């Protein structure tokens, strides 16, 4: 048994610990693992290239990243933030609740790729939430800003996770259907998906309450900063 290929795991851990580029760490770890396992460099590159061509959705995802980066470089985040800040009555919690509902609905229809962290949360949802919070409460301190970004990412996760369970062709629903059929329990995928509705409704209510509580915390933090402002030396 050759344990040397496991050095790729240590390579990934070390790269992440040093906060290197994740894509570079993962790809280089694959190359290192292949070389240690006895493959030639050409053979390793052939395996990576074959997987890239075979998994076309992965290729599409990788092509999406440069487009998002180019849009961000030309001010997509800043324009989204400025636009939402001009809307009267817009708050970070209201924006994220609307996105949560939309994310659940489109995921329930099987369109889970319409949202996501790289293509929606980072360039649009998080900056818009920051703009809404800044327009209502003023400039946020760095810890609150990071919490707001984390909550935007969590909103996408909750909406996707509990929304896709309602889609009858979702892999999890089909897995449960197949397992129950093997055990002699005949249950249609539609019935399994419908039983996911109560969980989705509860998840929406719980996360919406968390978002409103976050809004109140932002208001308290802004009031505390305003109260301490006159005491600062000029």
pLDDT at 153: 93
Q: Is the pTM of this model over 0.85?
A: no
pLDDT at 155: 95
Q: Where are the domains of the chain?
A: 4-54, 76-231
Burial group, residue 68, by CB count within 10 angstroms (0-12, 13-18, 19+): middle
pLDDT at 72: 64
Task: Please list the alpha-helical segments (H only) found in 119-196.
Answer: 126-137, 142-164, 171-182, 189-194
Q: How far apart are CA 146 and CA 42, in angstroms?
A: 43
Residuewise pLDDT in 10s, the chain (234 residues): 677 788 888 888 898 888 887 778 888 888 888 888 888 888 888 877 776 666 555 555 555 666 666 666 767 667 776 767 677 778 899 999 999 999 999 988 888 777 888 788 888 898 889 888 888 888 888 888 899 999 999 999 999 999 888 887 777 777 777 877 877 887 787 888 888 889 999 999 999 999 999 999 988 888 887 777 665 555
Residue 44: which residues within 8 A CB-CB, separation 6 or more?
30, 31, 34, 35
Q: How far apart are CA 91 and CA 98, in angstroms?
A: 11
């Amino acid at each position: 048994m050759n344990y040397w290929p496991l050095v790729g795991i240590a390579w990934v851990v070390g790269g992440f610990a040093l906060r290197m580029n994740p894509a570079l760490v993962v790809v280089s770890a694959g190359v290192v693992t292949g070389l240690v396992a006895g493959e030639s460099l050409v053979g390793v590159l052939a395996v990576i290239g074959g997987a890239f061509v075979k998994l076309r959705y992965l290729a599409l995802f990788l092509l999406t990243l440069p487009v998002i980066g180019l849009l961000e470089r030309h001010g997509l985040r800043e324009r989204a933030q400025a636009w939402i800040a001009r809307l009267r009555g817009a708050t970070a919690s209201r924006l994220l609740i609307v996105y949560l509902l939309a994310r659940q609905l489109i995921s329930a229809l099987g369109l889970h790729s319409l949202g996501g962290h790289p293509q929606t949360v980072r360039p649009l949802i998080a900056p818009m939430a920051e703009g809404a919070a800044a327009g209502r409460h003023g400039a946020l301190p760095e810890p609150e800003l990071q919490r707001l970004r984390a909550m935007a990412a969590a909103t996408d996760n909750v909406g996707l996770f509990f929304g896709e369970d309602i889609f009858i062709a979702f892999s999890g629903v089909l897995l449960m259907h197949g397992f129950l059929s093997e055990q002699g329990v005949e249950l249609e995928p539609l019935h399994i998906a419908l039983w996911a509705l109560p969980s989705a409704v509860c998840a929406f209510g719980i996360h919406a309450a968390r978002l409103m509580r976050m809004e109140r915390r932002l208001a308290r933090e802004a009031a505390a900063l305003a109260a301490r402002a006159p005491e600062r030396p000029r």
